[in-house]
Chains A and B, each alone.
Chain A
């Protein structure tokens, strides 16, 4: 039993948050101009061409909101998580795709996941009436779970194919970390279409919650 990744989409079809745990297929960062917003996840934002100095300055110019301070400190925590997760790959900067067969770039992957989820949701509604909700699907290697909030946020989790339904877990992420660190965070710009909702506390809080679950090895 294990959990692979978590995607959050807002009602404008944008991916606003991403986090992963045990995926073995290395994540390839999004390409420049691929439509991925800033502050989705440090691991997937297009790699800036210059060194750490230039990195800092582009970040400063990109993030005009006061969330800037949060984001720049996010890096530390994310790096720490990475360290815990992939003991072998601590020195690999997340921006460098390497190792076992990198898949799609993140922006394309995020769009595919959203496309599948939206199509299945519409299909299920068409088949069984407007009240019916799409819950999950399963393949030979993973299971995808969907939880949709009334405000149109879609929480998508990829887990082990044999995992139990994750609806309650996703609801808990929504009711706990999401409300606490995104909705109640005056510095977080929800529904902005220009920024994701990533921040240090949100990420750490989800991480802590999921690691405490029995499904997490």
Chain B
């Protein structure tokens, strides 16, 4: 499995954290990532509306031919998105752990402004410990 990247999208659809880990996907500018995060935020809202059988969550896993996006929607509306290769069973688990790290290193940080881009060395270190800098195996 390969982990390509991690995004954190705030409840308004803004990208507050974005980090690449492995090569394999296109290299985009930070502006393009912002646009994609906004698009994903919108799509996520629509996917819960078009359910054929009653109330539904938004999209949880989006698959392409060679990679997938796994989305964790937290209770506060923040979305954690993990971009991985297809045969990856641990994406959900990694997202849960990322959320823990987010709660510890970002939300408990008195210098962090909520809904603003995350600039925290502590969080970066936690993520590096969790995912690595370029994990391939």
- Residue positions of A touching B, CB distance < 8 A: 4-5, 20, 22-25, 100-101, 103-104, 109, 112-113, 115-116, 119-120, 123-124, 126-129, 132-142, 144, 158
With CB as the reference atom, state the residue of chain A lying closest to B61.
Answer: A138
Q: From DSSP, what is the main secondary structure of chain A's interface residues? A: mixed
Most chain A CB atoms below 10 A, which of B32, B42, B47, B58 = B47
Instruction: Tell me whether A136 and B63 are in contact (CB under 8 A).
Output: yes
What residues on A are CB-neighbors of B24 within 8 Å?
128
Chain B interface: which size bin?
Answer: 20 to 34
Q: Which of A100, A119, A128 contacts B43 (CB 8 A)?
A: A119
Contact of A141 with B56 in the complex, beta carbons under 8 Å: yes
Residue B121, interface by CB 8 Å: no
Which B residues are closer than 8 A to A by beta carbons? 24-26, 28, 32, 36, 39-40, 42-43, 46-67, 83
Contact with B51, one of A128, A129, A137, A139 (Cβ below 8 angstroms): A139
Total number of residue pairs linking A and B with CB closer than 8 Å: 108
Q: List 29 A-B contacts (CB under 8 A).
A: A5-B52, A20-B52, A109-B50, A112-B46, A113-B50, A116-B43, A116-B46, A116-B47, A120-B62, A123-B39, A126-B32, A127-B36, A127-B67, A127-B83, A132-B66, A133-B64, A134-B64, A135-B65, A136-B62, A136-B63, A137-B47, A138-B63, A139-B56, A139-B57, A140-B60, A141-B54, A141-B56, A144-B47, A158-B52
Residue of A nearest to B49 (CB): A112
State whether B47 touches A141 (Cβ < 8 A).
no
